[in-house]
Amino acid sequence: MTGIAVFPGQGSQTVGMGKDLFDRFPDICATADRVLGYPIRELCLGDPERKLGRTEFTQPALFTVNALHYMAHLADGASVPDFVAGHSLGEYNALLAAEAFDFETGLRLVQKRGALMGAISGGGMAAVLGADAGRVRAVIQEAGISTVDVANFNAISQTVLSGPSDDLERLRPSFESAGANVVPLNVRTAFHSRYMRSVARDFAAFLDTIRFMPLVVPVISNFTALPYRDDEIANNLVKQIDHSVRWVESVQYLLDEPDPVFVELGPGTVLTRLIKDIRQHPTPVNIARRY
């Protein structure tokens, strides 16, 4: 059996997340309060000022709750996983589990990432359901719209697009004619696209101040859909910001391991559902192993 821990990203947050975990790990909560400058428990459990849906607050909160889920997973007797992976923000929890950095360093990373990403506005995102990635790309090309990027290859039947909101809406009739549904996402920014390049540049400068440790568990990268090398952590985290999340290929890579067993550690079951979809549509993995 190959044990695989996966961590969800932005969009999985919900008021009340982590309610059974904060009291178990008070040191983590104290560290989060000190670094962030506000009470993390209050934000996650009550959200009295309705900030949890704002990127600059979502990312540190979700990173903290994902970390608590992982710590509880181990404390309850689970073994250290054989592989880890995370979707977008969740990749930071995968790297934390692999000991690339400690909790405080990881929290400072996502605090900066969230602040940079939250400061960008304009554009939007939409999920295309019921068409595979090849068909999605063909429809975009046939429509003659060159301003839209693929943000997330989430599942065989789910691809998320980023770009100008008007152009995403212009694509809707073309996708509907192709038998797909288009669901606009509740975001005001075109994440994981060319429109995040300034954020990637600024984050790269911040990462120059961070020292990463050798990984103790293989981490699958969103950017390459392959295991990280120790010398490419900063590069992959920068590229992740303005490139596609290759979740389908990442899961396909892991499904090629002997008897893979996935456990999602975080609020909700978004990744569990995506993995189920990918399992039901087997596709040959055509990316070479590195080791």
What is the tens place of the pLDDT at every residue in 29-83? 999 999 999 999 999 999 999 999 999 999 999 999 999 999 999 999 999 999 9
Are 2-120+193-280 and 124-184 the same fold in CATH?
A: no
Indicate the CATH number of 2-120+193-280 among 3.40.366.10, 3.40.50.300, 3.40.50.2300, 3.30.470.30.
3.40.366.10
User: How would CATH label the architecture of 124-184?
Assistant: 2-Layer Sandwich (3.30)
Residue 288 predicted with pLDDT over 50 = no
pLDDT score recorded for residue 282? 65
Residue ranges of domains in the chain: 2-120+193-280, 124-184
pLDDT score recorded for residue 186? 86
Residue 188 predicted with pLDDT over 90 = no
**Distance (Å, rounded) from C-alpha 5 to C-alpha 87?**
11
Kindly report the average pLDDT of the chain as a whole number.
95
Which residues form the catalytic set? 88, 192
Q: Which residues pair with 85 in a beta bridge?
A: 6, 220
Q: In terms of DSSP H, where are the helices of the chain?
A: 26-36, 40-45, 55-75, 90-97, 103-118, 133-143, 165-177, 197-207, 233-242, 247-255, 270-280
The tokens describing 221, both together, are 């990268």
**Distance (Å, rounded) from C-alpha 165 to C-alpha 58?**
22
The tokens describing 32, both together, are 């989060």
Which among 249, 264, 289 is positioned nearest to 150, based on CA atoms? 249
Q: What is the pTM of this model?
A: 0.95
What is the tens place of the pLDDT at every residue in 215-226? 999 999 999 999
Residue 258 predicted with pLDDT over 80 = yes
CB under 8 A, 24+ apart: contacts of 164-173: 164/122, 164/123, 164/124, 164/190, 165/123, 165/124, 168/124, 168/125, 168/126, 170/143, 170/145, 171/126, 171/139, 171/140, 171/143, 171/145
pLDDT score recorded for residue 291? 29
Strand, helix or coil for residue 241: helix
What is the tens place of the pLDDT at every residue in 2-36? 999 999 999 999 999 999 999 999 999 999 999 99
pLDDT score recorded for residue 287? 39
